[in-house]
Amino acid sequence: MENRTKTKQDKFHKCFGPVFEKELYDEILEIGIYNDINKGDLLIDIGDKLTYIPLILQGAVKIIREDHDGEEILLYFLERGDTCAISFVSCINLKKSIFRGIAERHTEYIMIPITKIEEWMVKYKSFRRFIIDSYHNRLIEMAETIESLTFMKLDERLVKYLEAKVKIMRSKNLQISHQEIATDLHTSRVVISRLLKTLEKLHKIELGRQKIQVTNL
């Protein structure tokens, strides 16, 4: 128990220590609720009522938008030190979530109840900064996603996806099926299989069942 609290503080310090001023830092540690979820678990679903905002300490979350047919599109990933910026707005005006967030791997985070959000916005400059910066980052990432969707060919998008995945997983050894990639990139599994095969022939990756080794990307 002692140990668990320690690591939680350590991780929080590592990710957010320089970001928040002292009093806010202490207040978050006191009020925020620590939680963790496993790979594939849902952090937030479309239509969910937002009751808290997550500060991510460890791991990664995939943010997805779903259209009317239930087709999914990958928007961006959240990493440690990030937060779901969109959730701020939804929190403040009490709207429901328009995105879905799924854990890409084991993920730890601190939940801040919405009741504190507005209070801290007024009280702490570093908190306002944090939210604006984070919002800005999400906007940039989304713009990049739109750019890729519009201008890049699928093979380029796949390479970009693999690069992002390597970065987020902090490993060149990815455990993922072709189908999952296809769903993320909004295309069919067969196409992904073929493109991956060509990448393998170019010695950029090595393929195995449920795994992809990125060697020379």
Binding site for DNA (CB under 7 A): 177-179, 187-191, 193-194, 196-197, 207, 209-210
- In the complex, the smallest distance separating the C-beta of residue 190 from DNA, rounded to whole angstroms, is 4
For DNA, the closer of residues 203 and 209 by Cβ is: 209
For DNA, the closer of residues 126 and 177 by Cβ is: 177
Count Cα neighbours of 5 within 13 Å in the Cβ-side half-sphere: 4
- Separate counts of helices (H) and strands (E) for the chain: 8, 10
Helix (H) or strand (E) holding 206: strand 205-208
Instruction: Name which of 137, 136, 91 is nearest 114 in CA terms.
Output: 91
For DNA, the closer of residues 123 and 189 by Cβ is: 189
For DNA, the closer of residues 121 and 191 by Cβ is: 191
- In the complex, the smallest distance separating the C-beta of residue 99 from DNA, rounded to whole angstroms, is 25
Q: Are strands 211-214 and 205-208 parallel, antiparallel or unpaired?
A: antiparallel
Q: What are the structure tokens assigned to 188, written together? A: 């069919």
- In the complex, the smallest distance separating the C-beta of residue 211 from DNA, rounded to whole angstroms, is 7
Q: What are the structure tokens assigned to 98, written together? A: 């328009």
- In the complex, the smallest distance separating the C-beta of residue 70 from DNA, rounded to whole angstroms, is 16
Amino acid at 43: L
